[in-house]
Amino acid sequence: MKYVDEYREAGRVRQLAERIREITTKPWNIMEVCGGQTHSIVRFALDELLPERITLIHGPGCPVCVTPIEMIDKAVAVASRPEVIFCSFGDMLRVPGSRKCLLEVKSEGGDVRVVYSPMDALSLARKHPGREVVFFAVGFETTAPANAMAVAQAKRLGVENFSVLVSHVLVPPAIRAVLASPSCCVQGFLAAGHVCAIMGTEEYRPLCEQYRVPIVVTGFEPLDILDGIHRCVQQLEEGRAEVENQYARVVREDGNRAAIKQIEEVFEPTGRKWRGIGEIPASGLELRPECASFDAERRFEVTGLTADEPSECIAGEVLQGHKKPHDCPAFGLLCTPDHPLGAPMVSSEGACAAYYRYRRHDLRR
């Protein structure tokens, strides 16, 4: 398949891995930011092709994974109301809250529906004017333009029974939080190509300059990831700390200006809690005051809900790169995709799900 098969060609993968081995003279710790990159690394065993001196650290790169447990509780509270049609992407239905998940709400009679875009939810609101339709707006900058467009359309059309439960998070503040941590051992980053396709690359330059770390914007196929690692190692070996764009076939320096404009018209930055990590300043998006009437948190008065993370789940340690999924005593035993304790085991991009799917038998041996 064009644009896929050529980035998985085994011979070229081995050649690139050998080039990385040839230029590596020191130990380096590199964090891949995106869960999609983590899945490719684990699925294709790319980390096993690298020299022992290179350690790949899995970052907090899955919006489902970092959605805090209290936001799930808010979603459950809203979805349980009889007048509500609650719409969400499929992964979010199985993420556990403090008491139950959205799938349990559905099994108990709640009108919870899987949709494929926020515009599907807006269409439902127009078809059912007597019901309140709520869309669970979760994601990084990648999904923010579509969610912003749905709110803008609802405002333009006067669809008053539509609202969004916003849990958007932003990548650069999360990288800053990782780098500012006293326990940080990360020396370079592979940034998420799909996020940069929207936002561009410029917002990473201050991070490179302040913390003296290279950040390489990288795609998701094996050759993309190994090329990103190669570029990152080259910078580290040469003492450079720059933003570099490996994913130039998709990402432009200034990003997608129309998408950015749509985001800025509807959302503004805010502090946001991350599952297992805590609050990171200016790391999320919330609706601007002129769009506040579409805020489901305010409409259904769930702004004050709080909840603690389960003590038996080390999701926060995994998401910060301090531990690997198999370091968790519950991994594969008390915590499985059928009975997850935390979001990283639920999400299709979660690190725990990747290890369970591709490596649990090796780990048992």
| CATH classification of the domain holding 281 | 3.40.50.11740
Tokens of 214: 């290279």
* Whether 180 and 322 share a structural domain: no
pLDDT of residue 365: 46
Q: Are 169 and 138 in contact (CB under 8 A)?
A: no
- The boundaries of the domain holding residue 330 are 315-364
Single-letter amino acid, residue 234: Q
Whether 356 has a pLDDT exceeding 80, the answer reads yes
- Identify which has the larger pLDDT, 309 or 28: 28
pLDDT band at residue 291 using 50, 70 and 90 as cut-offs: very high
Query: Does residue 155 sit in the same domain as residue 35?
Result: yes
- Rama region for 30: left / alpha / beta (φ>0; ψ in -120 to 50; rest): beta
- Same domain as 211, residue 324: no
Query: What pLDDT is recorded for position 24?
Result: 97
**What is the arithmetic mean of pLDDT over 296-305?**
90
Looking at residue 98, its pLDDT comes to 87
Number of domains in the chain: 2
- Tell me what pLDDT residue 1 has: 47
Give the max Cα distance, the chain. Answer: 66
Q: What is the pLDDT of residue 363?
A: 56
Residues 157 and 246 placed together within one structural domain of the fold: yes
Same domain, 83 and 174: yes
Together in a domain, 272 and 354? no
Nearest of 55, 33, 57, 66 to residue 321 by alpha carbon: 57
- Indicate if 246 and 342 belong to the same structural domain: no
Over the chain, what is the mean pLDDT? Answer: 92
Residue 94 sits in the same domain as residue 196: yes
pLDDT exceeds cutoff 90 at 308: no
pLDDT digits (tens, 9 = 90+) for 73-117: 999 999 999 999 999 998 899 888 888 999 999 999 999 999 999
If you average pLDDT over residues 47-73, what whole number do you get?
90
Is 304 a residue whose pLDDT tops 80? Answer: no
Quote the Cα angle for 10-326-142, to 5°.
65
Tell me the C-alpha to C-alpha distance, in Å, between residue 243 and each of 28, 204, 253.
17, 7, 10
Q: Which of 309, 337, 353 is the last residue of a domain?
A: 309
Listed range (23-37, 149-163, 207-221, 298-312) with the worst mean pLDDT: 298-312
User: Among candidates 226, 9, 42, 45, which has minimal Cα distance to 234?
Assistant: 226
Residues 283 and 332 in one domain: no
* pLDDT > 70 in the chain, percent: 97
195 and 263 within one domain: yes
Percent of the chain predicted with pLDDT > 90? 70
pLDDT at 295 over 90: yes
Tokens at 19, concatenated: 């080039």
Across the range 271-283, mean pLDDT stands at 88
Indicate whether 101 and 236 sit together in one domain.
Answer: yes
pLDDT band at 340 (very low <50, low <70, confident <90, very high): confident
Does the pLDDT value for residue 362 go beyond 70?
A: no
SS3 annotation, the chain: CCCCHHHCCHHHHHHHHHHHHHHCCCCEEEEECCHHHHHHHHHCCHHHHCCCCEEEEECCCCHHHHCCHHHHHHHHHHHCCCCEEEEECHHHHHCCCCCCCHHHHHHCCCEEEECCCHHHHHHHHHHCCCCEEEEEEEECCCCHHHHHHHHHHHHHHCCCCEEEEEEEECHHHHHHHHHHCCCCCCCEEEEEHHHHHHHCCHHHHHHHHHHCCCEEEECCCHHHHHHHHHHHHHHHHHCCCCEEECCCCCCCCCCCHHHHHHHHHHEEEEEEEECCCEEEEEEEEEECHHHHHHEHHHHCCCCCCCCCCCCCCCHHHHHCCCCCHHHCCCECCCECCCCCCCHHHCCCCCHHHHHHHHHHHHHHC
Q: Are residues 290 and 333 in the same domain?
A: no
Q: What is the pLDDT averaged over residues 4-29?
A: 92
Can you read off the two tokens belonging to residue 285?
């998006």
